[in-house]
Every structure is written in structure tokens, then in C-alpha cells.
Amino acid sequence: MKKIAFFDIDGTLLDHNKQLPHLTKEALAKLKENGVFVAIATGRAPFMFKNLRDELDIDSFVSFNGQYVVFENEVIYKNPLDTQEIENLYTYSMERNHPMVFMDEKVMKASVANNEYIDLCIKSLKFPYPSVDENYFRNNEVFQSLIFCEEQDDELYEVNFPNSRFVRWHRFSTDVLPAGGSKAEGIKLMAERLGFNMKDVYAFGDGLNDIEMLQTVGTGIAMGNASEQVKIAADVTTTSVEDDGIWNALKKLKLI
């Protein structure tokens, strides 16, 4: 029976220094040798993990938490944010001094220059401060926005923007997706495209945006560095990314 495995990036494939552990790379190579289809499922934009795809020789992925899905280098699904919704969000966030970043599959643009929160958050992903273009969303398809604010502000956005979904990924930033968007939906689309039954689908993750994915697939694996909430959603908990969690789980599941 053919199987497919999806891997989150930050805290799953990459450690907290954004490095790919040697045994993780070896595990994925063995997985492919064993006939298991390998894909990525991430909140990141495609341009943010091209080098990783090249290094791992992976050309199928679910990005932007499910809003942009690619199978063997062909876009099979895209679900941009509604331009009017971003316009309303932008007006609301600017009134509260909460800057934004707008992303498509190729670039990201900031609404303001030299903001401490943007700098800190984007730097944590090992990327430079984005160039500024507050009009970018008006002229391009945007698949994900980031709002830079603190956790106590989340409820404001959730209450006032029911057509959007907010997923916090950093102390100072939350992702903005279309309501109903998730990695789980993107995985369902790709599994359907490949003719896979969900019981033959595996997924690895560590973040809050991985919970639905881990609950949806046949076997959800939480990394040891995941929060308790994520571990509860998973079928299996492995060791941390620094302690070769992917290698250990694939061995335990007899996939390698």
C-alpha cells in the first residue's frame, strides 16, 4: 500500500537554529527509497523554503497553511485572501499601530519601514527586513498576511474579522488566512490528487497550526518540542527535533 508523509518545517525539519539535522536528511532519503511519497506542509511562503526543497529534492508541498498547494512543481490549488478583507484589516490594524506584511508565492512586502516587531519576527526566520509597499495587496494575489501585535490583541481581530483565520506563530506576530484555511485542507487536496486514502497519510508537526493536520491524517506525529496541546492532537509523540525526532519516529513506525 502506497503511503505519503508530510513534514512541517520550523521546529520539525529544521531545529531552532534553522538547521537541518543530518539524520533528518538521511531519514527522508530512506523514506523515499522505501517508496513513501514525501511532501512539505508549512505556514511559510514557497520562496522561503526553496533552498530546503532543493536540498531534500522535494517538489510537492502545502504552503501558506494550505492556501497554495503544489504537486510535482505544478500548482494544483490556490486560495488568495479577499482584497477587500485585507483592506479592512489594514485600516483596522493601522489605527492600532499594528503593522502588516503581505506575502505571495514570490515575495513579502511590509506596510512600514524599520519596525522592531517586524524586524524581530522576520529575523527569526533568517530573512532580511522586507521592502516596503503598503499597496502590494491591492495589485497582487496575497495568500497570507502577518499582523504584528501581541497575544492580548488576538481577540479583537477574531471578533471583528470572522471571514479570516488568525494563527499565532510568534510572540509578536499572527498569520492571517482565509477562514477555514489550514494545512489539513491542503493535505486532503493532495491526497485526493494522488488517490491516497487518509489512513495511509502521515504528518509531522510541532506548532498550533499543525493541530488540524495531525488530527486529520491517518497518523499524526508530534515532535518532542511541541506544546502539550499539539501532543494531545497527535497519535504519536517522538523526541525533539534536536534529538532526531523524525528519524526516531520513522524507525518506530517501521517506515524506514
Q: Which of the residues are catalytic?
A: 8
What does the CA dihedral 88, 90, 92, 95 come to, rounded to 10 degrees?
A: -150
Helix (H) or strand (E) holding 164: strand 164-170
CA atoms of 173 and 160, how far apart (whole Å): 18
Count CB-CB contacts under 10 A for residue 168.
Answer: 17
CA atoms of 130 and 122, how far apart (whole Å): 8
Helix (H) or strand (E) holding 121: helix 116-124
CA distances from 60 to 50, 156, 204, 234, 254 (A): 11, 36, 16, 23, 23
Please provide the size of the chain in residues: 256
Q: What's the one-letter identity of residue 3? A: K
Q: Cell 520562496 appears where?
A: 47
CA atoms of 127 and 114, how far apart (whole Å): 14
Q: Helix 245-252 crosses helix 22-33 at what angle (to 10 degrees)?
A: 30
